[in-house]
Structure 1
Amino acid sequence: MDPFTYAPVEDPLFGAIAVDLDHEAGVLRVSGADLPRTEVRRAAGAALETHVPIGTRDPAHLAMSLDDTSVPVRPAKAFLTRRSYRVDVGSTVQGVTHRLVPVSVGSSRLLKDGRPLGVLTSTGDGNVTVEWKADSAPDAYDAAVGYALAGSFGTGAEPMWKLTLDAALMMWT
């Protein structure tokens, strides 16, 4: 039995894209005709966090590659603010940085060197959709990184007041 969840997407700019997620093994692959080979992998032996599609947010237990070139992936701690759910990628392939940061309960914005490219939504099971910003002109690397981050870490976060209330209630009980 194939452990991957295949989530085909028809991207408005890049055509057919596959986001393949194996939550148990901690592997996500993004592929498409014009996209670079992209993979996010959880290290063997890392504790499995069931609420994170790739299984961890610990940068020490994650590896990412674009066209077989390793790139650093750095998820933030994910605690009280939406911004704390951001994920940064420093790309040695293009010399740019990408950031995926929540903007609503279900969606996150993809930034390239601080410039917005589009908004992604992921259900946490490998299904990812994107709405590219009209004047952003993303390239294939941008798309591959966006799909990989959204598929690996999910998108969106609760508002700060809700996250703060939840944290307070956890400490009280």
Structure 2
Amino acid sequence: MNEKERAPIEDTHFGAVTVRQDGQDRIAVDGEAIPRVTLERDPAAETDPHIAIGTRDPAHLTMRVDGVEVGLLPAKGRFSRHSYRVDVEYDGAAYRFVPDSIPSSRLTRDGRHLGDFSSDGDETVLAEWREDGEIRPADAAIGYTLASAFGTGAQPMWMMIVDGVSNAIP
């Protein structure tokens, strides 16, 4: 684990939250009021420098909440915002983390919008919780982990097409 000291993030619901990245090998999130989450990449897996955890291939990723392995399924991340979604199954709930604007991604539990996260795929993660929902400690721990591991936000498909066309024109 990276030994540099990192100031905790102050979450509006759960207080101090610490996000630690160990290169592209491991991410750990913890705090006094949330469960500890780790996300590890198989060291033998090929890495993508554009992804903080190094891969979106679920066969090479292991996520644990309080030491219990959970289901993790990142989509391939190609052309649409939806293709960058990440699904997690934990404690009977289905979480989905998906870009909903250029800078941020939405976290849902069983289809209910919990909050929005912003991160460049580093240890700095910002969470904005919805006021109309019951936010659980695991929601925060999972959201911070996914934001740090995969980054947040994505351009809409039409903008990617325009960028591709404009880059192709001499």
Fold in common (TM above 0.5):
yes
Kindly indicate whether the alpha-carbon contact (under 8 Å) linking 1:7 and 1:19 is maintained by their aligned counterparts in 2.
no
How many angstroms apart in 2 are the aligned matches of 1:49 and 1:59?
14
Identical residues among aligned pairs (%): 45
- Aligned ranges for residues 88-127 of structure 1 at < 5 Å? 88-91=87-90, 94-127=91-124
SS in structure 2 at match of 1:29: strand
Instruction: Provide closer, same or farther for how the CA distance between residues 132 and 167 of structure 1 changes in structure 2, counting only shifts above 3 A.
Output: same
How many angstroms apart in 1 are the aligned matches of 2:4 and 2:62?
18
Kindly indicate whether the alpha-carbon contact (under 8 Å) linking 1:124 and 1:151 is maintained by their aligned counterparts in 2.
yes
SS in structure 2 at match of 1:145: helix
SS in structure 1 at match of 2:87: strand
Please give the TM-score of this superposition, normalised by the length of structure 1: 0.90
How many angstroms apart in 2 are the aligned matches of 1:74 and 1:167?
28
Instruction: Provide closer, same or farther for how the CA distance between residues 5 and 162 of structure 1 changes in structure 2, counting only shifts above 3 A.
Output: farther
How many angstroms apart in 1 are the aligned matches of 2:7 and 2:85?
23
Instruction: Provide closer, same or farther for how the CA distance between residues 159 and 133 of structure 1 changes in structure 2, counting only shifts above 3 A.
Output: same
Deviation above 3 Å: which 4+ runs of structure 1?
A: 1-7, 164-172
* Counterpart pick for 2:138 among 138, 141, 145: 141
Q: C-alpha deviations, 1:61-103, integer Å up to 9, x for none?
A: 1000001100011111111110101000011xx2001110101
Instruction: Provide closer, same or farther for how the CA distance between residues 22 and 165 of structure 1 changes in structure 2, counting only shifts above 3 A.
Output: farther
Query: Any stretches of 5+ residues in structure 2 without a counterpart?
Result: none
C-alpha RMSD of the superposition: 2.2
Partner residue in 1 for 2:128: 131
Partner residue in 2 for 1:10: 10
